Every structure is written in C-alpha cells, then in structure tokens.
C-alpha cells in the first residue's frame, strides 16, 4: 500500500488529474513502490511488461542497444513522469529501462489502469495526450537521424540540454552524448571538435560552454553537410 506522500505526488501529475477520491483510494491500495539502485534494470527489451510506471524520485533512462555496444537513449524520465503507456496493450517492452541514479518507482497493473479509465474517461484522454507527445518526439528523432549530419544533431542536443542546465553551461560526458546520439564516443569527439573550431562551443573538462547560441542554433537547423560524413 502506498503512503500519503505517494498519493500527494500522484495527485499533482497532470496526466492523472483531476483525481477523484475513490480513484486515489484505489491507487493507494494497488500501487507498488520499489527502489532501484543506480544502473539497475527496470526491465529489458522483450520482457513482459504489463504495468504503468510513475517516477516518484530519481530518473530512468529508456534506451536501445546492439551487440556492438552502441546505445541510443530514447527518453529520460524524472520525478512525476509516467512511462510504459505504449506497452500496456502489447505487454512487451520495446526497449530497455534502467535507473540512472538511486530512484523510486510506483507502478500499477494494467487491470488497475483499465479500471481507472473506465471510471474516469478523462484519464484515457490524458494518456492519449501523453502518447501523442511521445509519437511526435519519435517522429522528430527519425527526421534528425535521416536528414541531419551528426554535428547538427549534436548542436541540437546541446541546445535542448541547455534549457534544463545552468545558463549556457552543461556537464556532459562523451559516453552520455554518444548514447543520446546513437553513436560512439570517438565520433562525438570529432563532432564536438568541429563545433569548437567553428567558435560555437568550448569544452572545459566534462563541462561544455555554449559561446555562440545563435550560431549553434543555425548549425542545429542545418541539414546534411556534405563536408561532414558522420551520421
């Protein structure tokens, strides 16, 4: 059974609001809370997953990888985010999920989610909105992979990351950048060096300083640069 603090968190999540008292009571009785250590798997691709997850604290990375060790981060979820809506019907994970840091997740079985939607159709509309936003994200990701060179994709990633970091300054490792871009660290290093040579960024250890935001934005919007063979 969930605690009062867990219910308070759930009641503040837009996709789950406005909650009715009886539905909050159902969530309290049926929700399962579990802690995960940094790097611990929540599930692996192909596993049966018939639960809806809510991040109570910490963060979770959903990603794909291959036998050569290459990794592509699809989404990151933080406190208050919900995930696994798309797997509720197919009940199979299409990607891997792991805790990025010490994290606590709350989950609900599919039958509970179905019961909540049946009792309050607004929840179904909220969930549909969440799925639609993820579909848009996937569409943008496919466009970037198909039509932008890696240096442009890196520029875009740095701009997006800046929005959630301290002004113009980010702490990102080559490993994390490579995972977000679906390539290897050596390729990212070359792309980052190109942005430095163009006077758009500076690198100080693991920290990246954007020195020309407008120029970096122009680089991010550029399509495939025939002088840049990296994809």
Question: Looking at residue 31, which CATH number applies to its domain?
Answer: 2.60.120.10
**Which of 22-36, 162-176, 212-226 is the least confident region?**
162-176
Last residue of a domain, one of 94, 113, 144: 144
Considering only CA atoms, which of 110, 111, 104, 109 is closest in space to residue 80? 104
Is residue 173 included in any domain, yes or no? Answer: yes
In a domain, 106, yes or no: yes
What would the pLDDT profile of 159-216 be if each residue is shown by its tens digit? 988 876 655 556 788 888 998 898 889 999 999 999 999 999 998 877 888 999 999 9
Q: Euclidean distance between the first and final Cα of the chain, in Å?
A: 48
Q: Decide if 230 is inside a domain.
A: no
Strand, helix or coil at 164?
coil
Q: Could you tell me if 18 and 35 lie in one domain? A: yes
Distance CA 207, CA 173 (A): 8
Domain count, the chain: 2
- Which residues are bridge partners to 22 per DSSP? none
Whether 166 and 86 map to the same domain: the answer is no
Q: Are residues 12 and 65 in the same domain?
A: yes
Least confident window among 10-19, 131-140, 222-231: 222-231
How far apart (Å, rounded) are the C-alpha atoms in residues 11 and 165?
A: 27
Q: 12 lies in which domain range? A: 4-144
Q: Which residues contact 31 (CB under 8 A, 6 or more apart)?
A: 1, 2, 6, 10, 106, 107, 108
Higher pLDDT among residues 107 and 162, named by residue: 107
Residue 132 and residue 179 in one domain = no
165 in the same domain as 125: no
């Amino acid at each position: 059974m969930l605690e009062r603090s867990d219910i308070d968190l759930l009641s503040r999540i837009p996709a789950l609001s406005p909650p009715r008292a009886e539905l909050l009571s159902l969530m309290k009785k049926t929700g399962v809370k579990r802690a995960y250590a940094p790097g611990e798997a929540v599930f692996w691709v192909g596993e049966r997953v018939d639960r809806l997850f809510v991040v109570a604290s910490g963060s979770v990375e959903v990603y794909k990888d291959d036998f050569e060790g290459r990794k592509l981060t699809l989404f990151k979820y933080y406190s208050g985010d919900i995930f696994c809506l798309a797997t509720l019907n197919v009940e199979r994970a299409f990607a891997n999920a792991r805790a990025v840091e010490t994290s606590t997740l709350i989950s609900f079985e599919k039958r509970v989610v179905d019961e909540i939607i049946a009792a309050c159709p607004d929840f179904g509309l909220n969930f549909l909105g969440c799925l639609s936003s993820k579909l848009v994200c996937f569409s943008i990701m496919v466009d970037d992979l198909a039509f932008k060179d890696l240096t442009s994709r890196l520029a875009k990633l740095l701009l997006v990351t800046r929005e959630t970091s301290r002004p113009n300054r980010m702490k990102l490792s080559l490993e994390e950048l490579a995972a977000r871009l679906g390539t290897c660290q050596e390729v990212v290093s070359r792309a980052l060096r190109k942005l430095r040579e163009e006077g758009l960024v500076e690198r100080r250890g693991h920290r990246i300083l954007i020195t020309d935001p407008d120029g970096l934005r122009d680089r991010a919007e550029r399509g495939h640069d025939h002088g840049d063979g990296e994809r």
